[in-house]
Chain A
């Protein structure tokens, strides 16, 4: 018979390692038509990082995301990047992009200030304009300021910056210290049905609550969480690389290495925790890898809640779950006879 269970798992995950150098750099150039060009070494692999970086530059310059032309991952033209790894892009590369955009903006403010009759500190970049704070009608189009900066002042608005979370060596004696710049947190809850006659587990629903700092792009955060959960479901119940006695991989194909399909995926509800990290670009931290950390633990706890067995090797295949149920029954029968 099918038995329902729920399990919960929490995690923290580090963002922006500090044990060694971890730099990202960026160049932001504001163009005379009011658009901007961003050079970054990071690689887009579908997670949406270039969209997020364009959003960060756009926010800093007061222009639209579509107005930011991103040139990426070509070391002929872009800075070398530490990598699209370790859930660091939004935080580390994002900070570099924000600082580079701020530097370009500083040039625009210096050029616009005398033209608008105020100090640079009284200006803001908003709605494609450089304008006086509190007096938005006193403004210049950002493209006109860029043109004036280049053509009249001889200071083209180009900003570059590097962000490198401060390197902090760990205490060699105790191994203690602050190995990462910041941390993210999450809780996932899984609901499963376990068939106690076959050991088969069906994941019905996962509710995932993730802190990623302020989400720059909530839709992309959701996409990361949903994708991470599908990997977690595979990790929990299906995916396993099998080796023969000579160490040869015997399932190097998708026929025998089983990963979740659309039929294996539970319904997923994503909750993004309201949070803000002062050290991140516009309050953001990161979201990539952390998304699949809690899933398997939550599912295995749900199996325990459903049928009272702990499966301690992954994946928790039907065979393993059924063997654990049988062992538990044998144990209980022994206790009854002994009693």
Chain B
């Protein structure tokens, strides 16, 4: 067993897991954070995307022990009980998701992009979402939602995409 200590959504957690456990499995099965989805388990679909130390990663491609001591943010860490994250609000208002399976991954990829680059071009948004497959939407309304959040953050510098 490998002992892993990580900060998940701001909370320190220590778990003992078999050494072959992926970060995705650690989140879903040991920490009961089922927002990140298991789509392919080999890095093709992006449904498992989470943010590790500020970078979006496919959590199915990382071993739990590789993130020992790291900071992990999952979709569960974005909203508070009374407030959605601006990206979540924009996705809801624009009807950016349909079945929603790709959603947690797409939103985490978008968040990682906006954290690094608050005013991305459409090309940069397309680039940042390229690893997140969506069968339903054609991506158009997701791209619009990310643009809308970027614009609102820029016109009100006090609203940070927390």
A binds B: yes
- Chain B 107-162 interface residues, beta-carbon cutoff 8 Å to A: 125-127, 129-143
CB-defined contacts of B131 to chain A, threshold 8 Å:
261
Instruction: Given A255-B44, A262-B129, check contact A46 B98 (CB 8 Å).
Output: yes
CB-defined contacts of B97 to chain A, threshold 8 Å:
46
Instruction: Tell me the complex Cα distance, A261–B130, Å.
Output: 5
Q: Which residue of A lies closest to B101 (CB)?
A: A46
Please tell me if A47 contacts chain B, counting CB pairs below 8 Å: yes
Q: Is the CB of B133 within 8 A of A254?
A: yes
Please tell me if A259 contacts chain B, counting CB pairs below 8 Å: yes
Q: Which of A24-32, A66-74, A189-197, A224-232 contacts B (4 or more CB under 8 A)?
A: A224-232
Identify B99's interface contact among A46, A219, A220, A268, CB under 8 A. A46
Rounded to whole Å, the gap between the CB of A84 and the closest CB of chain B is 12
Q: How many A-B residue pairs have CB under 8 A?
A: 74
Identify B140's interface contact among A47, A48, A259, A268, CB under 8 A. A268
Please tell me if B42 contacts chain A, counting CB pairs below 8 Å: yes
Please tell me if A265 contacts chain B, counting CB pairs below 8 Å: yes
CB-defined contacts of A46 to chain B, threshold 8 Å:
97-100, 136
Instruction: Tell me the complex Cα distance, A71–B99, Å.
Output: 18
Q: Which residue of A lies closest to B128 (CB)?
A: A262
CB-defined contacts of A223 to chain B, threshold 8 Å:
95, 98, 137, 141
Rounded to whole Å, the gap between the CB of A299 and the closest CB of chain B is 14
CB-defined contacts of A137 to chain B, threshold 8 Å:
none
- Chain A 14-73 interface residues, beta-carbon cutoff 8 Å to B: 45-48
Q: Is the CB of A230 within 8 A of B98?
A: no
Please tell me if B84 contacts chain A, counting CB pairs below 8 Å: no
Interface size on A, residues (CB 8 A): 25
Instruction: Given A46-B98, A47-B98, check contact A265 B44 (CB 8 Å).
Output: no
Please tell me if B15 contacts chain A, counting CB pairs below 8 Å: no
Identify B139's interface contact among A222, A230, A253, CB under 8 A. A230
Instruction: Given A46-B97, A227-B98, A229-B138, check contact A259 B40 (CB 8 Å).
Output: no
Q: Give the interface size class of chain B.
A: 20 to 34
Q: Which residue of B lies closest to A233 (CB)?
A: B138
CB-defined contacts of B48 to chain A, threshold 8 Å:
none
Identify B133's interface contact among A47, A228, A261, A267, CB under 8 A. A261
Instruction: Tell me the complex Cα distance, A48–B95, Å.
Output: 9
Please tell me if B27 contacts chain A, counting CB pairs below 8 Å: no
Q: Is the CB of A227 within 8 A of B137?
A: yes
Identify B138's interface contact among A48, A219, A227, A255, CB under 8 A. A227
Please tell me if A263 contacts chain B, counting CB pairs below 8 Å: yes
Chain A 255-290 against B: per-residue CB contact (8 Å), 1 yes, 0 no?
Answer: 100011111010110000000000000000000000
Q: Is the CB of B42 within 8 A of A255?
A: yes
Chain A 185-226 against B: per-residue CB contact (8 Å), 1 yes, 0 no?
Answer: 000000000000000000000000000000000011011001
Q: Which residue of B lies closest to A259 (CB)?
A: B133
Identify A48's interface contact among B44, B94, B98, B127, CB under 8 A. B98
Instruction: Tell me the complex Cα distance, A219–B60, Å.
Output: 34
Most A-side CB within 10 Å, residue of B39, B98, B100, B138: B138
CB-defined contacts of A226 to chain B, threshold 8 Å:
137-141
Q: Which residue of B lies closest to A269 (CB)?
A: B140
Q: Is the CB of A262 within 8 A of B137?
A: no
Chain B 24-43 against A: per-residue CB contact (8 Å), 1 yes, 0 no?
Answer: 00000000000000011010
Identify B40's interface contact among A47, A228, A254, A268, CB under 8 A. A254
CB-defined contacts of B57 to chain A, threshold 8 Å:
none
Rounded to whole Å, the gap between the CB of A274 and the closest CB of chain B is 21
Q: Which residue of A lies closest to B40 (CB)?
A: A254
Rounded to whole Å, the gap between the CB of B120 and the closest CB of chain A is 12
CB-defined contacts of B64 to chain A, threshold 8 Å:
none
Rounded to whole Å, the gap between the CB of B99 and the closest CB of chain A is 3
Please tell me if B45 contacts chain A, counting CB pairs below 8 Å: yes
Q: Which residue of B lies closest to A291 (CB)?
A: B138
Q: Is the CB of A253 within 8 A of B95?
A: no
CB-defined contacts of B137 to chain A, threshold 8 Å:
223, 226-227, 230
Instruction: Given A259-B133, A262-B129, check contact A254 B138 (CB 8 Å).
Output: no
Task: Mark A residues whose CB is within 8 Å of B.
Answer: 45-48, 219-220, 222-223, 226-231, 253-255, 259-263, 265, 267-268
**Which 10 pairs, one residue from A and one from B, show the smallest C-beta to C-beta distance?**
A46-B98, A46-B99, A230-B138, A226-B138, A254-B44, A262-B129, A262-B139, A226-B140, A262-B126, A227-B138
Give 7 CB contacts A-B under 8 Å. A46-B97, A48-B95, A226-B140, A230-B137, A254-B39, A254-B133, A261-B130
